[in-house]
Amino acid sequence: MNIAADAHTEGPSSYVRAAELELREVSKRYPGQLIPAIEKLSFTVPAGEVCVLVGPSGSGKTTAMRLINRMIPISGGDILLGGRSVLDRNPRELRREIGYVIQQIGLFPHRTIEENIATVPRLLGWPKARIDARVAELWDLIGLRKDELSGRYPAQLSGGQRQRVGVARALAADPPLLLMDEPFGAIDPINRARLQDEFLRLQQQVRKTVVFVTHDIDEAIKIGDRIAILREGGDLAQYDTPAEILRSPADEFVAQFVGADRGIKRLSLIALEDLTLLVPDDSPRRDAPATPVPRVPLTMSGRDALSLLLTSRATHLLVVDDDGAVRGNVTVELLHRRLAEDGAAAGTSARAEPTAGGGTWVGAVSSDGLDGKRQAAEDVDGAAKARSGA
Ligand code: ADP
Ligand code: MG
């Protein structure tokens, strides 16, 4: 995406860029319903963070979204946006301050892309020049080419393009909160992964407070700063970071929901550049097979590295930087060790130790310099001492 670095700094609206969202013992009972759709649901999303709501079908995810923007009346509790109760707000005005993206998109079929994107600014009575400027900015922000698609109607777009326009429309008035209800649910897996990546890049730029609904736990892990897992009845089973939910699920329901492969999923949260890579051993090993050792980028996830290690014949991978320089080795054992360390109590620092094969432990020298280097030196020192039979 071609994003102007200052796309958000001025902010085309007077709203703050992102606002904290707090649900306080929120309950919802639909008319004629015996069991509430949501019962005393409480959680807080800090300003500028992405909270993913996951849970099985019927667990109240959509209901929660509609309560937040007051599309349906709340039965009990309170919802605060930027410290202010949404119940004190005029629902129409409130909705113009909350971007809403849904699976079936809800673009107006008889309006062009530009007109769709301009919906809320127009409702807010922005002058035409300001609307035009904002729409122009959003073409870039969502990665759609104006020269190619300008003037088209929603039916003339692919599903992925429509979804991008939906996101642009939701962001048009620079709202402090974005609600996204299974936005990529109807998109094929390849385009879905692409949209997820774009969303993450976009969020780096705009830093909105986002509530993102999905029933796909992998999407939740990839997208969320925090994940709220709901069970039937809108009951909050766990609210935590993806890493923490995978590391220690609160109960059997959460453990089942995140899946038996949660250990491997944890590796998807780690990039090779986050690991203390092994020093490449220059001398050829006696048992070295003739298989070429795969070279992989620093940005590769631990999960993909494990997969490659298990499916190639190589016992290690060479991790290379953008210039092709080798930064270190990664082995199955190293990944295993990292999981074990993460699983241990917080605060216990990893100690340098020699390893069975592939080299010694060194701190990956990070681009921010000194600390990483000093750590590396200490680690090498420690490793040398350990090896010399201390
Ligand atoms: P989810 O989005 O997690 O699939 P919903 O919020 O759509 O779940 O639904 C939660 C519960 O509320 C379900 O039992 C559903 O049948 C019920 N429900 C949703 N909308 C209505 C409605 N308009 N009237 C009555 N019950 C509803
Ligand atoms: Mg739903």
d(CA 361, ligand 2 centre) in Å? 47
* DSSP symbols for 251-263: SHHHHHHH-TTHH
Tell which atom from ligand 1 comes closest to the C-alpha of 213: 2
Q: Which domains does the chain have, with CATH numbers?
A: 21-260 (3.40.50.300), 272-387 (3.90.1280.20)
Report the C-alpha gap between 132 and 134 in whole angstroms. 5
| pLDDT score recorded for residue 2 | 37
* Ligand 1 and 214: CB distance under 6 A: no
d(CA 71, ligand 1 centre) in Å? 13
d(CA 270, ligand 1 centre) in Å? 36
**Amino acid symbol at 241:** T
CA-CA-CA-CA torsion sign (237, 242, 246, 247): negative
Report the C-alpha gap between 15 and 175 in whole angstroms. 7
Regarding beta strands 235-240 and 226-231, do their DSSP bridges make them parallel or antiparallel, or are they unpaired? Answer: antiparallel
Q: pLDDT tens digits for 255-271?
A: 999 998 998 999 999 99
Query: What are the structure tokens assigned to 38, written together?
Result: 């949501």
282 pLDDT tier (thresholds 50, 70, 90): low
| pLDDT score recorded for residue 290 | 65
Least confident of 109-118, 185-194, 276-285, 359-368: 359-368
| pLDDT score recorded for residue 380 | 37
Identify which of 361, 359, 389 has the alpha carbon closest to the alpha carbon of residue 377: 361
343 pLDDT tier (thresholds 50, 70, 90): confident
| pLDDT score recorded for residue 52 | 98
From residue 139, alpha-carbon distances to 164, 209, 218 in Å are: 9, 21, 28
pLDDT at 389 over 80: no
What residues are paired with 227 via a beta bridge? 52, 240
* Ligand 1 and 28: CB distance under 6 A: no
- How many residues belong to the chain? 390
| pLDDT score recorded for residue 295 | 95
| pLDDT score recorded for residue 237 | 97
pLDDT at 362 over 50: no
* Ligand 1 and 108: CB distance under 6 A: no
16 pLDDT tier (thresholds 50, 70, 90): low
Identify which of 61, 44, 15, 75 has the alpha carbon closest to the alpha carbon of residue 179: 61
Identify which of 346, 349, 380 has the alpha carbon closest to the alpha carbon of residue 363: 380
Least confident of 127-131, 183-187, 328-332, 384-388: 384-388
Q: pLDDT tens digits for 300-316?
A: 999 999 999 999 988 99
Residues 309 and 317: beta-carbon distance below 8 Å: yes
Pocket probe for ligand 1: among 33, 181, 212, the residue whose CB has the most ligand atoms within 8 Å is: 33
| pLDDT score recorded for residue 355 | 36
How many Å separate Cα 339 from the centre of its chain? Answer: 21
Report the C-alpha gap between 219 and 268 in whole angstroms. 11
366 pLDDT tier (thresholds 50, 70, 90): very low
274 pLDDT tier (thresholds 50, 70, 90): very high
| pLDDT score recorded for residue 287 | 57
Tell which atom from ligand 1 comes closest to the C-alpha of 230: 3
Closest ligand by atom to 71 CA:
1
d(CA 334, ligand 1 centre) in Å? 46
Report the C-alpha gap between 333 and 246 in whole angstroms. 20
From residue 234, alpha-carbon distances to 85, 212, 279 in Å are: 21, 16, 50
* Ligand 1 and 33: CB distance under 6 A: yes
| pLDDT score recorded for residue 14 | 41
Regarding beta strands 317-320 and 295-297, do their DSSP bridges make them parallel or antiparallel, or are they unpaired? Answer: parallel
Query: What are the structure tokens assigned to 54, written together?
Result: 């996951």
Query: What are the structure tokens assigned to 222, written together?
Result: 């990839």
Tell which atom from ligand 1 comes closest to the C-alpha of 57: 4
354 pLDDT tier (thresholds 50, 70, 90): very low
| pLDDT score recorded for residue 275 | 94
Percentage of residues in the chain with pLDDT exceeding 70? 81
Q: pLDDT tens digits for 131-171?
A: 999 999 999 888 888 888 999 999 999 888 998 999 999 99
pLDDT at 363 over 80: no
Tell which atom from ligand 1 comes closest to the C-alpha of 181: 2
Across all residues in the chain, what is the average pLDDT?
Answer: 83
Query: What are the structure tokens assigned to 113, written together?
Result: 């892309």
| pLDDT score recorded for residue 285 | 59
Report the C-alpha gap between 276 and 270 in whole angstroms. 12
**Which H helix or E strand runs over 88?**
none
> Which residue's CA lies nearest to atom 19 of ligand 1?
63
Identify which of 262, 356, 360, 273 has the alpha carbon closest to the alpha carbon of residue 315: 356
pLDDT at 106 over 60: yes
| pLDDT score recorded for residue 352 | 33
